[in-house]
Structure 1
Amino acid sequence: MNPSSTLLLHPLTWVTWLVVAITAITLTRNPFYLLTLLLLLALVAEVERPLGQMRPLDPILFAAFTMAIGGVFNLLTVHYGDTVIFHLPANWPLLGGPLTMEALVFGMTNGLVIGALIAAFGAFGAAMPVGALLRLVPRAFYPLAVVVAIAVTYVPLTLRHARQIREAQQLRGLQFRTWRDSLPLLLPLLIGGLERALQLAEALAARGFAADQVPKRLRLLLVAGLACLFAGLLLRIVWGYALLGAGIMVAGGLLAFMSLRAAGRRSRRSHYRHYTWGRNDALVLAGATLTFAALLLPWSGSGSLFYTPYPTLHVPAFEPLMALLLLGLLAPLLTRSGVR
């Protein structure tokens, strides 16, 4: 958890920032803009990383890996483009044919998109504590959200525990040369995992987790709503009754919404920390809005977002003002002055 970030920005501000970042990455295939987004998102992830926490997988290194994999895969499987590097035998299945520079560049661009998306989610995960994420989940799904959050945090806890056991075994003189030397780690790791599971179960039971059972009538109402949605979809697509199917789908959606809303009202939740809106939120939202407008509004620089190397490889267009407007995603860094 990053305590400082929870005091600086509202959780919905970070969600808005993430949506704008994903929009920016998915709307462009221009390598210049994608590299700009990758660098600034990696910078946000590094700054938002809590003090004392180990450095996660470097987004830039991961982007280089995805670019290499995507470029090689597209080079070997897509035989299209004017700039031929060399030919593979035509009788080779899937791989046979000309290998072009256009296919390599297109595959590397797709890998860069994946790396930038991972960097965006990495920055969001570093800044948002689990508790703040749970508060954004509708109350009807709160038990499920808690279970998912526990499952997500279990992996890093297990890795940390395994590292501690390994260090303890090394202090006792155990040498790790082959995979068989790792067997003494398994039993302490299993016992530690069971102990953590029992402690977590006792803590959840003591706090009355999932003690409120949803009444049978609400569950039946939800099932009826989902059944109506499915029946309406079949009527529209399979049997061609568009108007009747739409009406049944609307009725089913209302039934499902009413059942979830009633179940959410029965879920009692208390909060130790109340988030408020402030100047920092206004600053981050203003930067995100500026970037979002630059991406969606029609102006002379918006055409540079689109790029394809086919059929002949060429240098993509670059609009300096567009790159400058993308820097609106760096607004969270302006709220960190004097915190760390």
Structure 2
Amino acid sequence: MFQSISIIIPVKSKDQNTISQLGKYLCSLDNELVEKSIQYEIIIADECPCGLFEQLGQIIRLSEHIIHIIPQDRSGKNDKLNGIYSAFEYVNYEYCLIIDDHFRITAMEIIDIMPCFEEFDLFKIVPVFENYSIDVMIDHAGFFFRCITDKTKQFAGHIAMKSSLYKEYGFPDRDGLYDEYIVEKYYADKGAHIGFPKDRFFTATQKITLKNFFEQRVRYAYENIAFPIRFLIHLCLFPISLLLMKENVKLVTILFGLYCICIMLISLWGQFKFGKKQMPPVFLFAPIWHLTYWITSWMALCLFLTKGISFGGNRIHNPK
């Protein structure tokens, strides 16, 4: 089994505190990995403004294992994919982990996934969070719901893959919004063995404002356009409910209650099957997660039919 891994982290932020916390985490992870005698490299594809790029560089300057780059090829509309694409040019190991900058994975979590590379060419696992705020519980409830209702499972800001896939098949188109889906589908279509191993977890953190939370809802709804049937169901629920309310409010109330119960039970099943035992009962928030799509799907449709959606400072039209 390989005991070496390349970790790619695309970064694009304008927040000084976010960059400071990321830098401190990287130094901590660097020390952990050294202690575990793992061969590794951490490649930071940094598209932050110049001052923040220098700030992060100053924090991580003493590490010999962290490669800090500015992506050179930014021809794609999705800068996150541009960063990952550029980072692959620096990858030296077969095992590769691509994670968003809000992850706080530990050395032991990396060691735990090593056997999964023997079984799968590409895989993703369940995130767990340092703090379970309301927004985190809503998102995590949706994660478990999707893991039950979608055979591809839910994407959660990371992908683990063999770098030989990139060397053999190149990299997917970088103009779409749903980056993790784009990467996974591209290599799945090439014949890669895709997996979702159980009992493996990555630690993450999430601290966002109400504005950021709302923007995420719209973006997630826009990503769902990549799944037409799912998107159509979300679009239909709200107008159907309004039409039924004109005929029989009591019936709609009963159906709505049954709907919420079903959504919670499906999420509960997902949490029981894939979650950690110590997790709070996030499944209770599944109806809120699903209800947001009743409105945001219509907003996403309007954006899709007009100017596309803003992501990372760029305007993207294609969801996939």
TM-score for both structures, normalised by structure 1: 0.27
TM-score for both structures, normalised by structure 2: 0.28
Query: Which has more radius of gyration?
Result: 1
More RCO (CA 8 Å, sep 6+): 1
Larger proportion of strand? 2
Larger proportion of helix? 1
